[in-house]
Structure 1
Amino acid sequence: MPPQVSEDAEPSEGASLPPDHRSLRGQPVWIFGYGSLIWKPGFQFTRRRVGFIRGYSRRFWQGDSYHRGNQQEPGRVVTLLEDANADTWGVAYQVQKDQLRHSLEYLNLREGVLGGYVRKTVTFYSRGSTARGRSTLALVYIATPRNPLYLGPAEAEDIAGQIVRSRGHSGHNLEYLLRLAHFMRSACPGVEDEHLFSIEAASLALEPSGERRAAPGCA
């Protein structure tokens, strides 16, 4: 049975927006994705922007017993760690008022009930906008250490071994890793993500040479 989370789980449009977003009720809302939402948002949106949020680093510290693993062999997916000196790159989606209720209900199930994530508000910077100081509030889903699927830090080789072994309803855990690495190289050239790329290298080293998977296009 998937884990249940009580924080920020109500589906109605107004109540489901964090307090600092409720003043924007009736206006478009941005949702930031830094994992599978990058290539598979699954909800309606009107605009898509590549960019980053500040003060967080991406880590493969969240367990996944549904999408990329199972109860016996949980996979590893990303969450965010507060880090004052880091930026995390991903994609933000603009959701209009008439799309919002359905989008939040869908994400509450996918990220909250099935994933163990809670919602927070962050500041999103579109690619190329920092020189002009433009930014916008965005919702983001973060798995905290309080959820039952949280696995925490491990060596890159240990995380890689878990990823190579795991598969869930959405496919192989390795596919998730390779899609994320492909996005960073293709959409964010020159941006280094040491944690991601070290796990990618360790995972590919564990794959038999005849079975290595080419990174699929996702940007």
Structure 2
Amino acid sequence: MEKILVIGGSKGIGSAIVLQQLENKQVFNISRTTPEISHPSLTHYKADILVDTLPEIESIDALIYCPGSINLKPILSLSVDDFRNDFEINVIGAVKVIQHYLPALKRGTNPSIVLFSTVAVKLGMPFHASIAAAKGGIEGLVKSLGAELAPTIRINAIAPTITETSLSASILRNDRMKENMIERHPLKNYLKPNEVAQMADYLISNASASISGQIFRMDYGLVSFKI
């Protein structure tokens, strides 16, 4: 049975990924809160990946790093600590986890890593300076590690548009705001967690064996089209 390690699998996209992977894989989850999902193939470790010692796992076939942040403010309202905190959550946490579990990945079968960026790296968006800067670091990390770890380990990133999770609740807090967000996207929708989970599943599968160092923009046309 394949072994999948999910970081931040208790909520949102991470929870959707855990639920999907439990269908036929052994899943390890590391997060500060316990997932609502209970399953014989799920092992949960309660930890803050930025400060706590990470648990040892002998071998894993895929690592999916889900923690992120939405910190939308004008540049003059963003403190240096805002930038530092977003970078810590999104980039330093991913680096710490990859460094720790690289030996376990090398013992896995066709191992791969999936990280998360945002459409705001490709498409300039007001009030996204801090998170876009942090996720830009993620995209650079994917490119660099894709080259460094080849041919043993593949690494890719998903860059979603806004996704209906607790993290985006303030942006999608009423029907009018949801309708406005739908209209903003050329394909007239925004993402649900299970859609992103399906992309993550593809990227850790043998079906994507030829793909590494790529950023997959799930944007409902937001970045690609002007209609």
Task: State the TM-score, normalized to the length of structure 1.
Answer: 0.27
Q: Which has the higher strand share?
A: 1
